[in-house]
Structure 1
Amino acid sequence: MSTVTLGALAGHFGRDLTRGVDKAVGIIEAAARDGVDLLVFPDAALGGYIGDLRHPDPEDLPPAIDPAGAEVAAIIAAAGPMTVCIGYTEAAGDVHYNAAICVSGDGILGSHRKVHQPAGESEAYAAGDSFRTFDTPVGRIGMLIDYDKTFPESARTLALHGARVIAALSAWPASVTDRATRLPADRQSRLFDLYDCARAAENQVFMVSSNLTGITGSLQFLGQAKVVGPGGDVLATTRSKGGLAKAEVDIDAEIDRARRVLNHLSELRLDIYATDPVREG
């Protein structure tokens, strides 16, 4: 049996980019001492997130960085043999993306630009246009950024392209229209957990789901980082607090066990799923 330790982080990261890099490096070093093999930071861990989801202030946007720049280089240097996924605002010329990058000490392993944009996020970021998987020391993985996981097709695309682990990096807040007095009772809290477990179970893969905590502008983030197994079972969680949810697993053995009798991916009926509006009669 070959086991690895999967870690999902819940934590607060603000706009101070230098401080964010230093904090991330410290967390990576601590996770290495704990034997973590895959560490998934939240979305926007480097430079923070927007402060208003409906109408972001164009004069108060997160700092955008070049993935080939010093900030990502510092994460690569700290990672060593560990696989690290971390979120940031990507500068691509004059265009900015809500992005995530996956690295090890060997360099950049993969990247993702958030595809699905809620509310007014398009006023701050351009949208990505693809979902990709890539090989890492812990196996083939893919990444999603917060609202991406609301759409089953996102995780399904990654699973069909061989992802055994999906890293879901989030800056997921409590409801902006009807916030509950207690975070665990907030409807977005329920949905965040529901999507994590559903995407894992329907694709029979591991979900390593991170999230921000604390407050940025008008947004209060939920935490609730977790590791979910291929049966949809929560193996470790931080609940609404900050911290690291980690689980030691045998990825291939657990996925093979989940798919032994009912293999969702091989039993798909792609030939009959409608791509056009449903026809009656």
Structure 2
Amino acid sequence: MLRIGAVAAAFTRDLDFDLQRIATLIEHARRDGVGLLVLPDAALGGYLTDLRQPDLAALPPALPVDDVHLRKIAGLAADMVVCLGFCEADGGSRYNSAVCVTGDGVLGLHRKVHQPAGESAAYAAGDRFTAFDTPAGRLGMMIDYDKSFPESARALARDGAQVLACLSAWPTSITNRAPRMAQDRQSRLFDLYDQARAAENQVVLASSNQTGALGGMRFLGQAKVVGPGGDVLARTWSKAGIAVAELDVPAEIEHARRVLNHLDELRPEAYR
């Protein structure tokens, strides 16, 4: 059995503040017996303050994968698998990246492929989706807008991922503000994509997200764990917290695929 935790929380430009918040979340997750903890996108350094016209003078700090803050988080993780988002520095390029660590170091890295609105002014784009093995099973990671594209999750599932970690800094609608969160278009899509990506690939999905506000961005929260049938097993709604669900991942996937196995029944030659 594996306990999966998906986090909804707020993060800032202050790396030391973020590190302390992450330490607290790992401590709470460990107390709950969590084996896989998925923190939001931009958990170190916060996200952009505006998507349409990013302030290039106030971007999140860019960190190499071997940065001391990431090494400290790996140490805090110990035997827990922890996924988190950060702004990655690689040569002269910056990426919106997600890293997966344990006390043994880095297990996997993903650079966000699909970029909304003006994000390309702040980050370079990644170019692949690759699953990787961890003590919590074979994982794949997506960031924010990646999950709007079915091909992202499908590529990871076809690469053997049994759990998809979806790390987000997903805001309310920028163009059509709703008076209530429940009426927000982006809130509805966030939940829809989470459930659809799990169900169409018959995998487990852990969806994290930021809360609160940064600049002109107001984040949704709504962290959740979704089963391979598309059913929400645990969620935080719009508040900060950790959605925790315990399940036998291989058994649940085998059960979901016992009659209709979507991956086995694909017809790639028909997709033009």
Q: Which residue of 1 aligns with 2:207?
A: 209
Check conservation: 1:175, 1:188, Cα contact below 8 A: yes
Aligned-partner SS, 2:189: helix
Cα distance in 2 between the residues matched to 1:118 and 1:151: 12
Q: Output the amino acid matched with 2:227.
A: G
Q: Which residue of 1 aligns with 2:107?
A: 109
**Offset, 1:28:** 0.7
Deviation at 1:118, TM superposition (A): 0.2
Report how far residue 93 of structure 1 moved. Answer: 1.6
Whole-angstrom CA distance in 1 between matches of 2:64 and 2:17: 17
Q: For 1:218-270, what per-residue CA distance to the aligned partner results, in whole angstroms no more than 9, with x for missing partners?
A: 01000000000000000000011110001000000000000000000000001
Deviation at residue 12 of structure 1 after TM alignment: 0.4
* Structure 2 match to 1:273: 271
Report the AA paired with residue 246 of structure 2. E
Alpha-carbon displacement from aligned partner over 1:46-83 (angstroms, at most 9, x marks no partner): 00000000110111111111110101001100001100
CA distance in 1, matches of 2:118, 2:207: 23
- Counterpart mapping for 1:51-66 below 5 A: 51-66=49-64
- SS at 1:86's partner residue? strand
Aligned length: 272
Cα distance per residue 1:141-168 (max 9 Å; x no partner): 0000000000000000000000000000
For 1:192, the aligned partner's letter is: F
Counterpart mapping for 1:57-136 below 5 A: 57-136=55-134
Task: Point out where structure 2 has 5 or more consecutive residues left out of the alignment.
Answer: none
- Indicate if the aligned counterparts of 1:86 and 1:102 stay in contact, CA closer than 8 A: yes
Provide the rounded CA distance (Å) in 2 between the counterparts of 1:64 and 1:21: 15
Q: Is 2:143 the partner of 1:155? A: no
Worse overlay, 17-26 or 131-140: 17-26
Amino acid at match of 1:249: L
Question: For the Cα contact (< 8 Å) 1:203–1:265, is it kept in 2?
Answer: yes
Query: 1:30, CA displacement in angstroms?
Result: 1.7
User: 1:177 is matched with which residue?
Assistant: 175
Structure 1 residue matching 2:114: 3-state secondary structure: coil
One-letter amino acid of the structure 1 residue matched with residue 147 of structure 2: K
Percent of residue pairs bearing the same amino acid type: 62
Which residue of structure 1 lines up, in the alignment, with residue 233 of structure 2? Answer: 235
Q: Structure 1-normalised TM-score?
A: 0.96
Give 1:102 shift.
Answer: 0.1
Look up the equivalent residue of 2:54 and give its one-letter code.
Answer: P
Secondary structure class of the residue paired with 1:120: helix
Q: Aligned partners of 2:177, 2:130: CA distance in 1, in Å?
A: 34
Task: For residue 34 of structure 1, report the CA deviation from its aligned partner.
Answer: 1.0
Contact kept? 1:41, 1:86, Cα under 8 Å: yes
Unaligned runs of 5+ in 1: 275-281
Question: Which secondary structure state, in structure 2, belongs to the residue aligned with residue 101 of structure 1?
Answer: strand
Q: Could you report, residue by residue, the CA deviation over 1:3-42 in whole angstroms, capped at 9, with x for unpaired residues?
A: 1100000000011011111211121122111100000000
* Distance (Å, rounded) in 2 between the aligned partners of 1:255 and 1:51: 39
Measured in 1, the distance between the counterparts of 2:117 and 2:103 equals 37
- Structure 1's consecutive aligned runs of 4 or more residues displaced over 3 angstroms after TM superposition are none
Q: Residues 25 and 74 of structure 1 are in contact (CA less than 8 Å); yes or no, is this contact kept in structure 2?
A: no
Give the aligned CA root-mean-square deviation in angstroms.
Answer: 0.6
| CA–CA separation in structure 2 for the residues paired with 1:179 and 1:256 | 41
Aligned to 1:278: none
Q: Residue 251 of structure 1 corresponds to which residue in structure 2?
A: 249
Q: Distance in 2 between matches of 1:273 and 1:138?
A: 33
Q: Is the 8 A contact 1:184 1:240 kept in 2?
A: no
Map Cα deviations across residues 69-110 of structure 1 (whole Å, 9 max, x no partner): 101001100001100000000011221000000001111000
> 1:271, CA displacement in angstroms?
1.3
